[in-house]
Structure 1
Amino acid sequence: MEIRDYEEFELEPLTDAELVSILQKRWELNDTEFNVWGELKPLGDVSWGYLTNVRVIGGSTILTYPLKGHNGNCEFFVNPKDASKYGHKDNSRLIRCQLILSPQEERKKHEIPFEMNVKPGSCSELKELPSAAPIEIINADDKSPYITSSLYDFHLNKIQEKLALATDELKTATENELNLLQAQRDEEESKRDSAITLNRTLSEKEQQLKDSIQLIETEKHASTDALLKLQNQLATFEVEMNQKIKRLKSYVSDKAQFLKTFEFIDEDDLENFLLESNAIGSQVDGLSFKDDFGKDYERAVSYIQAHLVENDILYPRHIIENYLTLLRTKDLIILAGDSGSGKTNLVKSFAKAVGGKSVIVPVKPNWTSREDLLGYYNPLEKKYLSTEFLDALLEARQNPNIPYFICLDEMNLARVEYYFADFLSLLETRDEEPEISLYSENESSHVLSELKAVVEIINSAKEKYSQNGITDFISLLQDEDVNHQLRQSFGFSDKDSLIKYHSDIRRMLSAVITMPSSIKMPENVHIIGAINIDETTHYLSPKILDRAHIMRFESPLLSDWDQILSEVNAYKFDELTKPLLFDNDELGIRMNYPKFKPGDEFTDLFIELNRNFFHKLGVEFGMRTIRQGLHYLTLFKDVNDDKVQALNNFLLHKVLPKFTFDGNKTVGQTTKLDLIEKVLAERIRQELPDAEEMPSSFSALYALEEIVINAKSNDGVVNFWS
């Protein structure tokens, strides 16, 4: 259709579609949504508003109607609800929105056949200016939030250029003025009064210049002196702190040496008592994610996959993308698959690939409480009985620069909610480090109080009989006078054993030193579970599923090895032997999930799915799950910008594992199984248009279809895990 200016609407009536098509071509739009941005004028005393200086997203030309006599700046009506939300009484606001044709009676009333209004509910704040925005847009009201780095740099350069030019001009003007004054003085030398006046003027300007230079030098020296003073203060503070630390260590060392001499503590416990690190070793030599990869997670995935292939470990790229993203969420990850599908191997090999350590903790079928996971305090022995899981946490705390991946293998051999629920609740603490309480601090206080009394008694006896050359506890016991003195001090009879009492104190002290009453969850720890589903295992409860991410695995024999090798060959890394080292925060930060915001595309989709499907099917799906999904999608963008893949992964992680119910029960006029097969599957297909190209074992749509097939052969019982 030819684009031209229309003089009168009645002479050549057009359909709405034709009007829209004309505006698309006139405004060079590639879609029918009319996404634009512009200036919401001050509202004044009215509730509605008008959008002016409007441009399409990606364009810089102000929109005008193709009408003779209407070629000026278009203004678009904004309804009161959007205007009050995004506008201001006195100032303009920059917003983005969509346009739609005005009602026909309004177009006729205003004699503008092309008249458009702002689509209700389409408005949002303009977080940053489009790249094609004209520079002069910064002159708008409240412009500061919209100045991009490129605009900032542009104007900074302009200011610097103007400053340099002004400086040169000032310098030239000053030199010219001085030269002029000098010439005048030479020229008017015969006129004494004029010469004196000129000379005084020149001298004053020279003095002003000298004063300015002196002021600059004075400020420079003052700044230098202040910096040196601060450096000296820091140096003095550091010396004082080192001296205090040295005296403290000397004091602690002296007391600890006494305990070692009298065999209350051994060499290993002495190192702990002196606050010595038990680190397993120095940092592994490898490539830096920050320095060598510029914190590029997408490139990091490529390197990790290639590094694993170099070590004969083949995983498809999407598994590495998904696993790395899930680690960064700091949520519980559960790897689900048949035996031999590579679950624990992924934990071990990935840990080596990033210079970390993996700890595989086998779960026993008889685990029934948190004590099986974290151990317990034995009041009879006055000692904490640790576990392999707790030992791994303590070791990770002593090696804060090394990432630890603790895997609970065969996690569902016992009921997870029995032994792990309390610990999982601790992991829900997102805004601070969760603290794990092991036993009452009163227990350690009693032990240390008793020890203090014992040390004073032994020290007193040692000093009293020091002439006998007594150097250790056995020598004390062998000396009759000292032995008698100790029994009197302790209130022991001849039947009581000092050796047994010494042994009890030694054991209690070792327990207090080696095991704190509580520990904070180390930042460098990631918790992973691995499960099989068969007749010997338990299903995961809704509480566990609600707080964990389920990552499915298939047999390595089903993987497309040629595809994996083709992916790796395309990366073209020269060196693949070294691990890729991450800082703790680069592998995940324990932070609050994004806020629940209706209106977000992802949020609205799952509100709809929950209303129309999940709730009717009896599948628990709440606000926490949506916030977890928003967090996952944000992190997944760093490794892959495919929104369809991210949505597919989320359905597999958080939705389908909850599909365990009787499909024969009715929902309205249909059964739950028919609702899945005939409605939900088609709705998911609309959201996953590329599902056919995904590997079947990692496709949410394929998994949903398998659920239906298996349910039909199992009397209508729907079970994701079967």
Structure 2
Amino acid sequence: MSLRERLLYVAEHYKQMGGDVLVKHEIENMLTRRLPISLYRLEHINREEMRISGQHAETFPYVTLANKNIESDVMVAYLFSEDGQRIYLVMMRGDSEEGTDLKDIRFFTPEHARVLKDNHIIIGTSMEAKSFEDRVALYLPYNIADLPSNDQLQDDLHLLLSMHEQYIKTYGMSKEMLGDKDAIVHIHEFIRKSGFTYERHDIANAYFALKTKPFIVLSGMSGTGKTKLAQLLADSIGATIENGRQVLIPVRPDWHDSSDLLGYIDLRGDFRRGSFLSIMQQAIQHPAYTYVAILDEMNLARVERYFSDILSVMESRSWSKGKIKTAPLFPGHKMFRDIYLPSNLLIIGTINMDETTHGFSQKLLDRTNTIELNKIQLDSFDFLDDRDPAQHGIQNVQIQSQYVHLKDAYVEHAELIHEVTNELLTVNEMLIEVDLQIGYRVRDEICFYLIYAVKSGMFTFDQAFDFQILQKVLPRISGSDGYTFDLLKNLYYYCTNTLLDDEFETAVVNADGMRFPKSARKIMEMMRRFEVYGYTSFWINTVR
């Protein structure tokens, strides 16, 4: 008999257990011996590792599958309903009151169209049935009247066992992961030993920016190592080109839509999958790992044209079954309707600002942290005496966002959120003069950044807020009119508590005594550009 036939037999005959002794013996034999034998014979079941046990409660039978080599209270099982009309293939926790939380199991397992993660399973009405229902984290439901084919049942079991294996690996790693501060120290050391020198607070800034939203942009003059930094950031958390979890995508000037990123149909009618679509699919299939897509020189083409679909989907992030998910990228598409932007995919863009590139729209600036790199230390050689850097198990559950909406963080961090908001109200009073005031999205993301940075102990409030003025406020400012210049003077006073006279070029930026020194230096640069060119922008190289 096949697996399907034996599952049907148990479901249809279990109610007869209380009858004739021979019938009872036959049903128990099927449940405890023959059905497990059918499972042991499956190609993807390793008999040396798997313990399969057919058992029965007072009113319903069940079969558990547990790995003998793994200490975990989470298992895969077949549960039969009390009325014999349904069978459920489930992942569930044991009966200990201190067992794993169902939310954790659901969080650390990948999404699948056919696997349900809700509380709607119905075993029966008895106390024992309700107890089992309360321990099920995810399941595939079958009706006896239309039980799938034997091949489909085997494929489903293979799927759930794979999800269980991935859960064990991911959950185990999550309990051993580093704290944010230790993770930043590791990343900084990894980059330093690779031969590139960046200040630790700059690495911390990039880390918190990625944690706030998995999309950042590295800007700066040519030769500052923007692309290399992006690659090393990915390498340091285990996402390498060699293991397929990192992809470098050079942007071309002739990109006019998303087909070069996502894919297109060629002249023969075959679909040519884009690099970005491929790494999205891998990230969805393997939520335990972090994936990194690097868009190199992303403003050689107009970003709003080829990246608009992804930007729009990025803003649809919401909580679904304990995970951050976005709307589908290809709604209604026959082949890719289940593709979304997964939270374990980090996007790092690099840009140069010169005569060969395009500027950024306000839409893009609102959706990212723009991190400027202009400092080069050619005389740093201490890395030559070090051993090769080692990668570390920094997991996606550590670097991914914890918040999507402000209400997610408000209860725990209300005081900090109000402190940030009060500062932003002051900034907005200045920005409103040039119609550049900060909106809800930017407010929320600045709050999230401050929560991560201050909570980690890496930054004080002022240090973290300084980075956010520099990366979320100043890139918005450009112009050639007096209102723009007056705005910069007001922002300079806000950052330094120092009034500038008309001869502002004689002013000295004394970082030690300022509240927000990084932003103040940048504002001074922008004002000097205005004086020389009659126009200023965040992006133009410093005028001396």
TM above 0.5, yes or no, is: yes
- Give the corresponding residue for 1:327: 210
Is 1:712 the equivalent of 2:531?
A: yes
CA change 1:249–1:382 in 2 (3 A) is farther
Question: How many Å separate the matches in 1 of 2:207 and 2:523?
Answer: 25
The secondary structure found in structure 1 opposite 2:436 is coil
Q: CA deviation at 1:627?
A: 1.8
Q: Equivalent of 1:682, from 478, 493, 496? A: 493
Q: CA deviation at 1:429?
A: 1.7
Q: CA deviation at 1:582?
A: 1.7
Q: Equivalent of 1:648, from 436, 458, 466? A: 466
CA change 1:389–1:603 in 2 (3 A) is same
Q: Equivalent of 1:404, from 287, 291, 302? A: 291
Question: How many Å separate the matches in 2 of 1:377 and 1:712?
Answer: 52
Q: Equivalent of 1:308, from 185, 191, 216? A: 191
TM-score by length of 2: 0.60
- Give the corresponding residue for 1:591: 404
Is 1:385 the equivalent of 2:272?
A: yes
- Give the corresponding residue for 1:659: 477
Could you report, residue by residue, the CA deviation over 1:497-552 in whole angstroms, capped at 9, with x for unpaired residues?
Answer: xxxxxxxxxxxxxxxxxx53441222311122111100000000011111111011
Residue 445 of structure 2 aligns with an amino acid whose one-letter code is Q
Could you report, residue by residue, the CA deviation over 1:628-650 in whole angstroms, capped at 9, with x for unpaired residues?
Answer: 21111011122524112101100
Could you report, residue by residue, the CA deviation over 1:255-292 in whole angstroms, capped at 9, with x for unpaired residues?
Answer: xxxxxxxxxxxxxxxx9xx979999xx99x99x87555
Is 1:673 the equivalent of 2:485?
A: yes
Question: How many Å separate the matches in 1 of 2:58 and 2:512?
Answer: 64
The secondary structure found in structure 2 opposite 1:530 is strand
CA change 1:675–1:352 in 2 (3 A) is closer
**For this pair of structures, how many residues does the alignment match?**
383
Q: CA deviation at 1:316?
A: 1.2
Alignment of 1:331-350 (within 5 A): 331-350=214-233
Is 1:545 the equivalent of 2:357?
A: no
- Give the corresponding residue for 1:152: none
- Give the corresponding residue for 1:358: 246
Q: Equivalent of 2:418, from 581, 586, 600? A: 600
CA change 1:701–1:398 in 2 (3 A) is same
Question: How many Å separate the matches in 1 of 2:314 and 2:513?
Answer: 33
Residue 634 of structure 1 aligns with an amino acid whose one-letter code is I
In terms of fraction of residues, the more helix-rich structure is 1
- Give the corresponding residue for 2:436: 619
CA change 1:707–1:278 in 2 (3 A) is farther
Question: How many Å separate the matches in 1 of 2:186 and 2:472?
Answer: 28
CA change 1:436–1:639 in 2 (3 A) is farther
Could you report, residue by residue, the CA deviation over 1:650-707 in whole angstroms, capped at 9, with x for unpaired residues?
Answer: 0111111111111xx345xxxx424523x331221139xx971499x98111010000
User: Are the counterparts in 2 of residues 421 and 544 from structure 1 also a CA contact under 8 Å?
Assistant: no
Unaligned runs of 5+ in 2: 1-54, 65-75, 80-87, 91-139, 240-244, 320-324, 499-508
Could you report, residue by residue, the CA deviation over 1:442-470 in whole angstroms, capped at 9, with x for unpaired residues?
Answer: xx4xxxxxxxxxxxxxxxxxxxxxxxxxx
- Give the corresponding residue for 1:171: none
The secondary structure found in structure 2 opposite 1:406 is strand
Q: Computing the radius of gyration over CA atoms, which structure comes out larger, 1 or 2?
A: 1
- Give the corresponding residue for 2:342: 522
Residue 364 of structure 2 aligns with an amino acid whose one-letter code is I
User: Are the counterparts in 2 of residues 707 and 720 from structure 1 also a CA contact under 8 Å?
Assistant: yes
- Sequence identity, in percent? 26
Residue 646 of structure 1 aligns with an amino acid whose one-letter code is A
- Give the corresponding residue for 1:53: none
Q: Equivalent of 1:374, from 262, 268, 271? A: 262
User: Are the counterparts in 2 of residues 342 and 555 from structure 1 also a CA contact under 8 Å?
Assistant: no
Could you report, residue by residue, the CA deviation over 1:95-136 in whole angstroms, capped at 9, with x for unpaired residues?
Answer: xxxxxxxxxxxxxxxxxxxxxxxxxxxxxxxxxxxxxxxxxx
User: Are the counterparts in 2 of residues 289 and 300 from structure 1 also a CA contact under 8 Å?
Assistant: no
Unaligned runs of 5+ in 1: 1-226, 255-270, 445-514
Residue 442 of structure 2 aligns with an amino acid whose one-letter code is T
- Give the corresponding residue for 1:297: 180
Could you report, residue by residue, the CA deviation over 1:344-393 in whole angstroms, capped at 9, with x for unpaired residues?
Answer: 22221122211223211111111112233322457x85543321111121
Residue 235 of structure 1 aligns with an amino acid whose one-letter code is V
CA change 1:709–1:586 in 2 (3 A) is closer
